[in-house]
Amino acid sequence: MNYINPPEKQPPQNITHKTFYSQLYNHEVGYNIYLPPDYKYTNEKYPVAYHLHGWTGNESSEILTMEKICCSRRAITVFPNSSPVIEEFDNLPVEAMLTNELMPFIEREYRTTPSQENRSLSGFSMGAGMAFVYAVKHLDLFSSVMAYAGTYHHFYHKGSQTVGVLPEKAAEIYEDMLREKRDFEEGNVLCLVRQNADNMRENLKINLHIGTDDVLFCDNEILRLYLESLSIPHGYRIFNGAGHELNKIL
């Protein structure tokens, strides 16, 4: 597994590849950072958005696709190497690296506004699932989460069959899950949402994007249905005909 992955092509304007040292990993870890065009001309402080890439991706794999999102807001955007592949094969604590090491590093090195209301998370695929779970677990750190085609079945019960299922089956699967106590056990994302529902209603802005032809459509529908059942406000945008493609669901 490569910890440092500079862009293979010229990165978009105002995006720079760098590294920081992780004590948890005992290794330098790569990240890309977008600084607004006026960053170097002012003493202003900026909100920070963290974007988590998809499974088998790295810190450089989505910077081109996400460029227009970065440019549309006056915020610093950080693209860390947050690969869950590292966690699987090397047993490294991705979540702790992000929240306990990278975020404090970014806030020391750059002019940020270090407060919950000025931090946000986004992600694609596995990164979207991670972003949603981390935002719910760390409501004191993040004010919003934007999940593009989130992978949630890893965070449901391991026996959940939600991948590649026909969209019209989502409600039936969800009803079956509600009858199974195992789907609400500690550590399950549905349990996590229930435990934090009151705080989420008040303090977390949630947006979910998913394509109708995505194999993860039911993953997202089940999460939507559960958020609705708890009256947790959220945006939910469906893209007709889109598959598992980040560029088509932005």
pLDDT in tens, 59-111: 999 999 999 999 999 999 999 999 876 656 667 799 999 999 999 999 999 99
pLDDT confidence of residue 26: 92
Mean pLDDT score, 138-158:
92
The answer as to whether 180 is a domain residue is yes
Closest C-alpha among 118, 113, 37, 35 to residue 78: 35
The answer as to whether 3 is a domain residue is no
DSSP alpha helix (H) spans, 11-115:
67-71, 84-90, 94-96, 103-109
Q: Are 152 and 189 in contact (CB under 8 A)?
A: yes
Mean pLDDT score, 151-162:
80
The answer as to whether 46 is a domain residue is yes
**Beta-carbon neighbour count of residue 131 at 10 Å?**
26
pLDDT confidence of residue 183: 64
CATH number at residue 211: 3.40.50.1820
CA angle (143, 149, 151) in 5-degree steps: 90
pLDDT tens for 60-73 read 999 999 999 999 99
The answer as to whether 6 is a domain residue is no
The answer as to whether 30 is a domain residue is yes
Q: If 0-12 CB within 10 Å is exposed, 13-18 middle and 19+ buried, where does residue 9 land?
A: exposed
Residue 187 has pLDDT above 80, yes or no: no
**Beta-carbon neighbour count of residue 64 at 10 Å?**
15
pTM for this entry: 0.95
Mean pLDDT score, 202-224:
96
The answer as to whether 5 is a domain residue is no
Domain containing residue 214:
15-248
**CA 35 to CA 137: how far, in whole Å?**
27
Contacts of 99 (CB under 8 A, 6+ apart): 134, 138, 141
pLDDT confidence of residue 159: 66
pLDDT confidence of residue 162: 86
Closest C-alpha among 186, 190, 150, 149 to residue 173: 190
The answer as to whether 24 is a domain residue is yes
The answer as to whether 8 is a domain residue is no
